[in-house]
Structure 1
Amino acid sequence: MLKDHIIHLAKLGYPLTRSDVLQIATQTAVFLKVKEDPSHLLSQHWLNGFLSRWLELKVVRPSKLGMKCAKAITKESISKYFNELNNILIKYELKDKPHLIFNVDETGFNFEHRPTKVVAPRGIKVNAITTDKGAITTILAAGNAVGYAIPPYFIFKGKHMIERLKAGAYPGSGFEMTSSGWSNGEVFINYIENHFTKYLPVRDPNQHILLLYDGHTSHISLNLINNAQSKKIILFVLPPHSSHLLQPLDVATFKPLKDFYHHECQTYMRKNPGQVITRYEVCQLISKAYLKAFTPSNLIASFRKSGIFPYKKDVIDEHHFLGDALRPKVPGPPPDTPAANSDYRKFLDHLLPQPKPIETKKRKVGYRPGGVAITEEKIILKIKKVIQEKESVNKKKINPQQPQKEPSYEELDTSSSDESEMSEGDVCCICKRFSPPTLRGVLRRQVTFVDWGQCSCGHWTHLQFCVPENVDEIMNAGDFSCPHCKGEE
């Protein structure tokens, strides 16, 4: 029962560590009353014996899988993709033409490499000097189902191409510069039009070529579709978040490519002590790795493992369909199990609660092609409709610039509702008002501070507005006499 629970959680994407298994096994022993003290865990020796009894279990290092990828892989989506792929292969008579089935994908490299295992003395910690990450360099790589590799297409970060960047490049490589070092829609069109088609095998003018690729938004446009149709290229977009299972280059080629790249970087650092890898060495290091990774055997295995050639729709194992397991299910009747097993099942479920699917509200998004050939007329119509809808929405969002209100120079309402009730001592002795009349014409929203001066006779006067003297002169003099008192003097 414990073995089944371990297998079940592993299939759901929540595998148990060795420590987890020992803790659960200890609590299970206490539950079954074969052990009394739960604070003393079972030993590693017990775990080794447990694994030897159940040969279907072993200790492995799991690979990372994002939640989006986990939810995207369902039996329905994979079946729909393979059915659509089969229709395209039959329609264009490509099932027996592996030399006309291609896959293209992009991957990025930086200057920092992952050190490989080395031989070193015991008892000391060994360090391997690396280079800081630096700018990203991307390549667009492609190959077909018979093992033919198209030369890489390098995308460097920058504005102006420097010839030194091309040093040691793989023969026939293409080059382009972008502000980020990543591919974009314009780069992908240039790649298809000027690089990919240049290295295609000779074929009948009416024979189509199938190109499978990851359908990033920037790689789907009417310009790209029109260009591909003119060259008899079928653009088949893979289902979203499924590259790790369905994209040939991701399945069996890019990992050895990265491993060889890290090895080449480490070799370069060892042969050039005191130096670092710069963008002028990246091209030759990637090219050496490309030559070793994009071999006929690796490319053929890539298309075979992804079920494209030979075509095999059930190539994906059941345990990969995590999307089905993570979906909310309607609870059914409990299975008929013995009472003892039922109690133990409840105990395990309490001890190791299974992941509960959370039903979230889905955002309404436009049509995004996936698992279909976007060069087919029915898909093109859908894409055009989405583009038209976006354009109409954007027009509504763009509001004409509203004329801004001119500043108002209307007279400020300087009178107070209580001014008539003020005593003579509350207003200026000159203008007989609380606010100076000369403030008329000041901006309505402007704040003006008015200085007051009090004479020894008790009169208050607006300084600056109702007396000729400068405010600073009055402040420096110390004593202030209102115009009435000055007249009497």
Structure 2
Amino acid sequence: MDKASRALAQSVPPSLSDSYRARADRSGVAHTTLHHRARGRRSIEEKAQSQQYLAPYEEVALVRFLLQLSDLGQPVRIKYIRFLAFCVTGQRSEADRPLKPPGKNWTRGFEKRHPETQARRVKALDWSRHEKNTYWKITHWFEVIGRVLKDPAISKENVYNMDETGVMLSMLGTVKVLVGKDDMRDYRGARVKRTLITAIECISGDGRYLDPMIIWPAATHRSNWTTFPTPGWQYACSDTGYTDSYISLQWLQRIFDPATKKQARGKPRVLICDGFGTHETLEVLEFCFANNVLLCRLPSHTSHKLQPCDVAVFSPLKAAYREQVERLERGGVNTIGKEHFTSLYSPAREKAFTSKNIIAGFAASGLFPFNPDRVLRSMPKPLADLTIPKADEVNVEACRENEVPQTPVTPVTLVLSTRQANETCRGTCTN
């Protein structure tokens, strides 16, 4: 509401004049402006709204989205904002939809219209230095995610955690064996393929899990790698076997959105993931904004404490996969290849991704039920929080007159004093 509208809306006591001139004198607004506004003339701001790229309610939605990402430690770059604005207009009818994003100076006016936002330059901070603030990062995480989860529109079944896990085909590790008494070797012969395959997994707050996306370390996919029946699974390839920005977007479009959209029934979906850079691309942000998905990024180096997948699911998954590998080796297969992976990983998933494990993961992460102390109580507080007594607060008693200070008793002084007592006793007995 502008100044003139506020002046007209104010109630006037009976003792004061209610004329336009009297209201103008009290508010500092020209009486002609009040006169025209009372007869329906729009303010300059209201006239400009019809010429703006986004409608007021669309700008409010965009501001809320940007502030939420900022609170979660994932502020959006300035150059991305106008493309997100273009994404907002995709919800309009085709006749009202613009053909291209707003101009490069649009973001500057957007910032002026919303004083709750500001542009700021931030510098990259090395993770080794950033790690020193882990306790405060986790505390801030619970402050932000607590506000998200308390929203009445957010329900437990619409809160998801997505994470990638790398699985070594042969699961290289130590095992307990029986050998000869004089055999000092700490290794065993094996035909080993050091091939790492990545699986993108996703679980929900009510104990469900989605189909995985398997990423092969290859340029192209071969049909003999997927002869084992895995309905619903999706596959991708990358040179390194790790996820990238394209695969992250493909996972959202091919697995997450189709599997969760009907369950959400138009309500917001919360997707908790780690701080890996592939989740922060413009395409991912546009997709999440257009489909009412709130992307919540975990603080760096905290996934072992805050990520339900890491806390309670991936460890039994690796153990179950190792059992499957050992079963295959007992059957005479010494070399595990990509063609064996799906037949080993599928039963391991069924054993590890139980409703009990998933719910336990969200509970141990302090999310459901919401309990930050579940995580913080196992972490040492920073040294700045430890209270060190001042010099004047410590009571140091002075020695009394003619009193010899005593050396504190330690194992060494105790032995020496015992030896001296024995020698004194021996000398007394001799005399």
Q: Please name the residue that 1:151 is paired with.
A: 211
Q: Please name the residue that 2:338 is paired with.
A: 279
What amino acid maps onto 1:333 in structure 2?
A: K
Shift of 1:345: 12
What amino acid maps onto 2:165 in structure 1?
A: T
Q: Which runs of 4+ in 1 moved over 3 A?
A: 66-70, 114-131, 327-332, 334-339, 342-347
1:104–1:211 Cα contact (<8 Å) kept:
yes
Shift of 1:131: 3.8
Pick one of 162, 172, 175 that aligns with 1:104.
162
Aligned ranges for residues 427-438 of structure 1 at < 5 Å? none
1:110–1:135 Cα contact (<8 Å) kept:
yes
Aligned ranges for residues 303-382 of structure 1 at < 5 Å? 303-321=362-380, 324-325=382-383, 332-334=389-391, 336=394
Pick one of 56, 65, 73 that aligns with 2:134.
73
Q: Please name the residue that 1:186 is paired with.
A: 246
SS of the residue corresponding to residue 268 of structure 1 reads helix
Shift of 1:112: 2.8
Q: Measured at CA, do residues 247 and 262 of structure 1 come closer, stay the same or move farther in structure 2, by a change above 3 Å?
A: same
Q: Please name the residue that 1:427 is paired with.
A: none
SS of the residue corresponding to residue 103 of structure 1 reads strand
Q: Deviations over 1:31-87 (max 9, x none)?
A: xxxxxxxxxxxxxxxxxxxxxxxxxxxxxxxxxxx967862421x322211111111
Q: Please name the residue that 1:440 is paired with.
A: none
1:115–1:263 Cα contact (<8 Å) kept:
no
Pick one of 233, 246, 258 that aligns with 2:306.
246
Alignment of 1:132 onto 2:211: no
Count of aligned pairs between the two proteins? 275
Q: Measured at CA, do residues 306 and 336 of structure 1 come closer, stay the same or move farther in structure 2, by a change above 3 Å?
A: same
Q: Measured at CA, do residues 164 and 69 of structure 1 come closer, stay the same or move farther in structure 2, by a change above 3 Å?
A: farther
Q: Deviations over 1:85-124 (max 9, x none)?
A: 1111223532xx2211110000111223245755746737
Structure 2: segments with no counterpart, 5+ residues: 1-126, 398-405, 412-431
Q: Deviations over 1:207-261 (max 9, x none)?
A: 0111100021121022101101222211110111100100110111111111111
Q: Please name the residue that 1:168 is paired with.
A: 228
Shift of 1:135: 2.5
Counterpart-to-counterpart distance in 1, 2:295 and 2:277? 14
Counterpart-to-counterpart distance in 2, 1:222 and 1:79? 28
Q: Measured at CA, do residues 328 and 146 of structure 1 come closer, stay the same or move farther in structure 2, by a change above 3 Å?
A: closer
Which segment drifts farther, 138-147 or 107-116? 107-116
Q: Measured at CA, do residues 121 and 147 of structure 1 come closer, stay the same or move farther in structure 2, by a change above 3 Å?
A: same
1:115–1:128 Cα contact (<8 Å) kept:
no
Shift of 1:174: 0.7
Q: Please name the residue that 1:296 is paired with.
A: 355
Counterpart-to-counterpart distance in 2, 1:233 and 1:336? 56
2:193–2:336 Cα contact (<8 Å) kept:
no
What amino acid maps onto 2:390 in structure 1?
A: P
What amino acid maps onto 2:358 in structure 1?
A: L
Shift of 1:333: 1.4
TM-score computed with the length of structure 1 as normaliser: 0.51
Counterpart-to-counterpart distance in 1, 2:235 and 2:408? 63
Q: Measured at CA, do residues 345 and 231 of structure 1 come closer, stay the same or move farther in structure 2, by a change above 3 Å?
A: farther
2:193–2:335 Cα contact (<8 Å) kept:
no
Q: Measured at CA, do residues 131 and 67 of structure 1 come closer, stay the same or move farther in structure 2, by a change above 3 Å?
A: farther
Q: Which has the larger Rg?
A: 1
TM-score computed with the length of structure 2 as normaliser: 0.57
2:273–2:298 Cα contact (<8 Å) kept:
yes
1:116–1:263 Cα contact (<8 Å) kept:
no
SS of the residue corresponding to residue 373 of structure 2 reads coil
Counterpart-to-counterpart distance in 1, 2:163 and 2:317? 13
Q: Deviations over 1:283-303 (max 9, x none)?
A: 221222111111111101000
What amino acid maps onto 1:268 in structure 2?
A: L
Alignment of 1:83 onto 2:140: no
Counterpart-to-counterpart distance in 2, 1:161 and 1:277? 18
Counterpart-to-counterpart distance in 2, 1:262 and 1:343? 58
Q: Measured at CA, do residues 233 and 271 of structure 1 come closer, stay the same or move farther in structure 2, by a change above 3 Å?
A: same
Counterpart-to-counterpart distance in 1, 2:349 and 2:140? 33
Counterpart-to-counterpart distance in 1, 2:357 and 2:313? 6
Counterpart-to-counterpart distance in 2, 1:156 and 1:91? 39
Q: Measured at CA, do residues 283 and 109 of structure 1 come closer, stay the same or move farther in structure 2, by a change above 3 Å?
A: same
Counterpart-to-counterpart distance in 1, 2:197 and 2:409? 52
Q: Measured at CA, do residues 69 and 250 of structure 1 come closer, stay the same or move farther in structure 2, by a change above 3 Å?
A: farther
What amino acid maps onto 1:297 in structure 2?
A: K
Alignment of 1:260 onto 2:317: no
Aligned ranges for residues 49-68 of structure 1 at < 5 Å? none
What amino acid maps onto 2:256 in structure 1?
A: F
Alignment RMSD = 3.3
Counterpart-to-counterpart distance in 1, 2:407 and 2:211? 62
Alignment of 1:229 onto 2:286: no
Counterpart-to-counterpart distance in 1, 2:188 and 2:278? 39
Aligned ranges for residues 438-457 of structure 1 at < 5 Å? none
Counterpart-to-counterpart distance in 2, 1:191 and 1:345? 67
Counterpart-to-counterpart distance in 2, 1:329 and 1:309? 30
Larger helix share, 1 or 2: 2
What amino acid maps onto 1:282 in structure 2?
A: F
Q: Measured at CA, do residues 156 and 261 of structure 1 come closer, stay the same or move farther in structure 2, by a change above 3 Å?
A: same
SS of the residue corresponding to residue 320 of structure 1 reads coil
Alignment of 1:215 onto 2:275: yes
Identity of aligned residues (%): 22
SS of the residue corresponding to residue 241 of structure 2 reads coil
Shift of 1:331: 6.2
